[in-house]
A and B are shown apart, each in its own frame.
Chain A
Amino acid sequence: MAYFVSLFLLGLVLGLVAVASNPAPYFAALGLVVAAGAGCGVLVGHGGSFLSLVLFLIYLGGMLVVFAYSAALAAEPFPEAWGDRSVLGYVLVYVLGLLVIASWFWGGWYEGGWVVVDEFKELVILRGDTNGVAMMYSSGGGLLVLCAWVLLLTLFVVLELTRGLSRGALRAV
């Protein structure tokens, strides 16, 4: 398990490097997807299986939508990738910075927590995350309907703004 978690952590860091160094939206979005997937894996490794499932489904679903829109809006015929010299320069600088910071913390890395979650604070029957989902659907039903409406509205807003190719409000200049 520790082997897998360290693999996921490496994927997370490399995905974030890809996000930070790529000027083309295709590869940056791809890096974001890799980072999100690996992050969910790290969460599973630390016991947040339900949370990571939700994140994986919803975050990656949203990510794919963003990917589609950004690729549609800023599509360039010859995107720069990791092979190009300028992007490679960014990658090297980021990795170097990462190594410097890692060596700064080397050895003195403790497991710290910000908040106590789940059953460690008080006696509960259900786990915190599943309990929270039940709460969301029971007490927050009206707000969920509202959120669904806002998502639909956002879809219409984005479609209306991007409509009409070069005659539309937004265009690839």
Chain B
Amino acid sequence: MNPYVLTIFLLSLGLGTTLTFASSHWLLAWMGLEINTLAIIPLMAQQHHPRAVEATTKYFLTQATAAAVILFATTLNAWSTGEWAIHQMSSPATITIIMLALSLKLGLAPTHFWLPEVLQGLNLTTGLILSTWQKLAPFALLLQISPALNSHLLITIGLLSTFVGGWGGLNQTQLRKILAYSSIAHLGWMVMIVKFAPSLTLLSLLIYILMTTTAFLTFKTLSSTTMNILATSWTKTPVITALAALALLSLGGLPPLTGFMPKWLILQELVKQQLPLLATLAALSALLSLYFYLRLCYAMALTSSPNTLTALLPWRLTQNTNPLLLSATSMFSLMLLPLTPTIMTLLTY
């Protein structure tokens, strides 16, 4: 792709999210979402091979449908109440439709089917953009409408997402599909708590972005998209392999690592809200996800694949990617837990 054209697409990607962040009017927010979708489509179909084009088509169809539903619901809202502002939604029907459209956009449980297949067709960098930057704009809208939302709907979507994310990832050998199901599960946690403590949603989104960036960049550095390649990739960079195992456990939410923080705080908040059954179910669904993270860890770092050692050794070429982002995010995704009070203060203030 021509670098000038690439610049236009990346700038518009930024513009779309910024517009949705900045607007208090539904029409402008919708425009931001559409610009976001439009700008990433050529980036997704960049390689022009059939799977990428198929993934692009699926992504375009789902996102366009979701955006059209949002536009429909907001028009309905403006028609019946005369109100275009995002944070002053009052009609329960339209706000429920918008929530369902946003969950289609984000890939939450009853409407999640596109996400694994789209992510599987992309390369890891575009997949990283798709599962981090593209989630920001819908989440900004979700946080703004959350006070008026029905908590039963949110809890249903959230719990369904965590379970579907856990079950869907169980038998996968493709890393991008596992990451997609991990995204569904994490987003489920965020949606479950958004009614009770929006700051916790923000916190989990932030930490999920850090952790999934680590995972995507690690897999990109090891240039692996399946578990088989991952199992024989430890000779390339042993340190990254060791850290990646811990980063995956952090995604799973094990205690001394950063990923434990959002799960801990969310469970605490759920118990505070007199919902112990929901908290128990959510914790049990995290076990399902933990199983496939552990499986990845096992294949990657806890066992050595039965090959002769010389067959595994790669050429030591100079690496031409900048490791700065990967080192920063892996540090964050391993060691932020002691900073929990500071981060909570930052986000609730």
- Give A contacts to B, CB under 8 Å: 143, 146, 149-150, 152-154, 156-157, 160-161, 164, 167-170
Q: When the two chains form their complex, are residues A153 and B35 in contact, meaning their CB atoms are under 8 A apart?
A: yes
Q: Using a CB-CB cutoff of 8 Å, which residues 19-41 of chain B contact chain A?
A: 19, 28, 31, 34-35, 38-39, 41
A154 closest partner in B (C-beta): B38
Identify the stretch in B5-13, B190-198, B296-304 within 8 Å (CB) of chain A at 4 or more residues. Answer: B5-13
Q: When the two chains form their complex, are residues A169 and B31 in contact, meaning their CB atoms are under 8 A apart?
A: no
| Least Cβ–Cβ distance between B16 and chain A, in angstroms | 9
- Give B contacts to A, CB under 8 Å: 1, 5, 8-9, 12, 15, 19, 28, 31, 34-35, 38-39, 41-42, 45, 48, 52-53, 56
Which chain B residues border A153 with CB–CB below 8 Å?
A: 8-9, 12, 35, 38-39
Q: A153-B38, A157-B39 are in contact. Are A169 and B9 (CB under 8 A)?
A: no
Which chain A residues border B9 with CB–CB below 8 Å?
A: 153, 156-157, 160
Q: When the two chains form their complex, are residues A160 and B5 in contact, meaning their CB atoms are under 8 A apart?
A: yes
What's the Cα separation between A152 and B8 when bound, in Å? 10
Q: A161-B45, A164-B48, A169-B48 are in contact. Are A156 and B31 (CB under 8 A)?
A: no
Q: Top 8 nearest A-B pairs by Cβ distance? A: A160-B42, A169-B45, A169-B53, A153-B12, A169-B48, A157-B42, A156-B8, A157-B38
| Least Cβ–Cβ distance between A3 and chain B, in angstroms | 39
| Least Cβ–Cβ distance between A139 and chain B, in angstroms | 13
What's the Cα separation between A164 and B42 when bound, in Å? 13
Which chain A residues border B5 with CB–CB below 8 Å?
A: 156, 160
Q: Which of B1, B38, B42 contacts A150 (CB 8 A)?
A: B38
Which chain A residues border B1 with CB–CB below 8 Å?
A: 160
What's the Cα separation between A156 and B5 when bound, in Å? 7
What's the Cα separation between A154 and B1 when bound, in Å? 16
What's the Cα separation between A164 and B1 when bound, in Å? 11
A164 closest partner in B (C-beta): B48
Which chain B residues border A150 with CB–CB below 8 Å?
A: 31, 34-35, 38
| Least Cβ–Cβ distance between B84 and chain A, in angstroms | 13
| Least Cβ–Cβ distance between A73 and chain B, in angstroms | 14
A159 closest partner in B (C-beta): B5
A158 closest partner in B (C-beta): B42
Which chain A residues border B31 with CB–CB below 8 Å?
A: 146, 150
Which chain A residues border B52 with CB–CB below 8 Å?
A: 169
Given contacts A153-B8, A156-B8, A168-B48, 18 further A-B contacts (CB under 8 A): A150-B34, A150-B35, A150-B38, A152-B8, A153-B35, A153-B38, A154-B38, A156-B5, A157-B39, A157-B41, A161-B41, A161-B45, A164-B48, A169-B48, A169-B52, A169-B53, A169-B56, A170-B53
| Least Cβ–Cβ distance between B119 and chain A, in angstroms | 18
What's the Cα separation between A164 and B45 when bound, in Å? 12
What's the Cα separation between A123 and B11 when bound, in Å? 46
What's the Cα separation between A146 and B27 when bound, in Å? 12
What's the Cα separation between A98 and B181 when bound, in Å? 51
What's the Cα separation between A19 and B229 when bound, in Å? 53
Which chain B residues border A143 with CB–CB below 8 Å?
A: 28
B48 closest partner in A (C-beta): A169
What's the Cα separation between A153 and B5 when bound, in Å? 9
Which chain B residues border A152 with CB–CB below 8 Å?
A: 8
Which chain A residues border B56 with CB–CB below 8 Å?
A: 169
15 contacts between A and B (CB under 8 A): A149-B12, A149-B15, A150-B34, A153-B8, A153-B9, A153-B12, A154-B38, A156-B5, A156-B42, A160-B1, A161-B41, A161-B42, A161-B45, A167-B48, A169-B56
Which chain A residues border B45 with CB–CB below 8 Å?
A: 160-161, 169
Which chain B residues border A168 with CB–CB below 8 Å?
A: 48
What's the Cα separation between A168 and B12 when bound, in Å? 22
Which chain A residues border B53 with CB–CB below 8 Å?
A: 169-170
| Least Cβ–Cβ distance between B118 and chain A, in angstroms | 15
What's the Cα separation between A167 and B12 when bound, in Å? 26
What's the Cα separation between A41 and B183 when bound, in Å? 54
| Least Cβ–Cβ distance between A173 and chain B, in angstroms | 11
What's the Cα separation between A143 and B30 when bound, in Å? 13
What's the Cα separation between A169 and B38 when bound, in Å? 15
Most chain B beta-carbon contacts within 10 A, residue among A153, A161, A168: A153
| Least Cβ–Cβ distance between B132 and chain A, in angstroms | 21
Most chain A beta-carbon contacts within 10 A, residue among B1, B15, B41, B42: B42
What's the Cα separation between A164 and B8 when bound, in Å? 20
What's the Cα separation between A161 and B31 when bound, in Å? 21
What's the Cα separation between A168 and B45 when bound, in Å? 9
| Least Cβ–Cβ distance between B284 and chain A, in angstroms | 43
